[in-house]
Amino acid sequence: MIDLNDGQQLALSDRSKRQVRATDPASQWQAGIAAGQQDASTLPGAAHIDLLWLALPPSLRGLGMATATIFAKEMPKLHLWDPNLATLNRRALVIDPYRTLSPVDVGNLPLISPSAAPPEDAHPVAVWGYLMALYHTFTGHADELEQLSTVAGAHTDDCVPSVSVTDNRAKQLTHRLYDRIPIFWGEGAHAGVALDWRHRYVRYTEARAEWTQLDVIRHVDVMARFPRYWPQVGLYVQLTQPTPVSESIVLLRQLWQARRIQQETITSTSSLLLPSIYELLCVGEWVALYAAAMLGVDPMDRVALDFLGVR
C-alpha cells in the first residue's frame, strides 16, 4: 500500500495521467458543454417531440440517471433508453451518442448517433456537461445553458495530490474504503452520482463496490440482517448536499448504528444542486484514482474487459 502523501509514489502510479487530468476539471466541463452544443445542432427540432430516449453504455448510466432526474419535469421528457417501454410513445427520438444501439433495436423510432460526445473514459464532468448542454441546446433553454458556465466554480481544490491526507477529503475517504466493500447511495439526482461513483470505483480499482438509493434502502435493505463480519467489511457512503436532514434519514442512521453498520456521509460544499453534482463527481474521480493507486492498479488497465471483448 502506497503513502497517499508521497507525491512521487502517486506520480509513479499515474501512468495514464488520470490524476493530471483531474486537477483541471473546469476545462473538462467546458469541453463537454461545447461538444453537447455541437451535437445538439445535428438533432431535429424539439417542437414535435414529447420524449427523448438517451442510450448510454453501462459505465455512464449513472451520469444519465442524474441528468434525467434533473429534467424529470421538463418537456420533452428525458429518459434512459428502455427497450420495453420504447413503443409507448411514437413522438419520441432516440439519441445514441456512444453507438450502443442498432436500427433494429429502436424499431420505427428515429435514431440519431451524434459524433462529438466525450470518450467513455473521459472525466465524469466532461460527459455530464455534454449531456446537460445537449438537452439545454436541443430544447432552446439558452438562459439555463449560460448558467452552466458558473457550475465549475465548485470547491474541489482540497482533493488534489499536493494536499495531505489531514486536509484532503478524497484521501480520507479512500483510507476508510481500503479493504472494504463500499455501498454508494444517494437521493434524487445524487443517486445517479452515486451510481457513477460505483462504476468508476470498480473500473479504476478492480475492487468490489455496490450501489443503491434511498427508496431501496428504506423499503428493502433495512430488512436485511448482515453477517457478524459485516461491520468490518461493508461501508455505506451517502452522497448529498448541505440540506436539512429528513426524519427518515435520521431514523435510518439510528437503525444502522444499532446494528453496527458502518456509514459515511460525503456532503458537497454547495447547497445548490448543479454545483453539488459537479463537485461530488470530481471527488468521486479522485477517490477512485487514489484507491487504484493504493491497490497498485493502473486505472486504465481493463484486462477483464479486453478478455471479454467489451473494452
For 252-293, the pLDDT digits (tens) are 899 888 888 899 999 999 999 999 999 999 999 999 999 999
In a domain, 79, yes or no: yes
Domain range for 195: 7-19+160-303
Count: domains in the chain: 2
- Kindly report which listed range (51-65, 202-216, 241-255) carries the lowest average pLDDT score: 241-255
Q: Cα separation of 282 and 24, whole Å?
A: 10
CATH number, domain containing residue 263: 3.40.50.10490
Q: What is the 3-class SS of 196-239, one letter each residue? A: HHHHHHHHHHCCCCEEEEHHHHHHCHHHCCCCCCHHHCEEEEEE
In a domain, 2, yes or no: no
Q: Cα separation of 29 and 141, whole Å?
A: 18
pLDDT at 33 over 90: yes
- Find all residues with CB under 8 Å of 101, minimum gap 6, and list them: 55, 81, 94, 111
| Model confidence band, residue 119 (pLDDT cutoffs 50, 70, 90) | very high
pLDDT at 107 over 90: no
Q: What is the CA radius of gyration of the chain?
A: 20
pTM for the whole thing?
0.94
Query: Quick one: average pLDDT of 106-120?
Result: 92
Do 28 and 15 lie in one domain? The reply is no
Do 122 and 173 lie in one domain? The reply is no
In a domain, 310, yes or no: no
Q: Which of 118, 152, 186 is the last residue of a domain?
A: 152
H-helix or E-strand containing 190? helix 189-205
Q: What percent of the chain has pLDDT over 90?
A: 60
Query: What pLDDT, on a 0 to 100 scale, did the predictor assign at position 86?
Result: 74
Higher pLDDT, 257 or 62: 62
Computed over every residue of the chain, the mean pLDDT equals 90
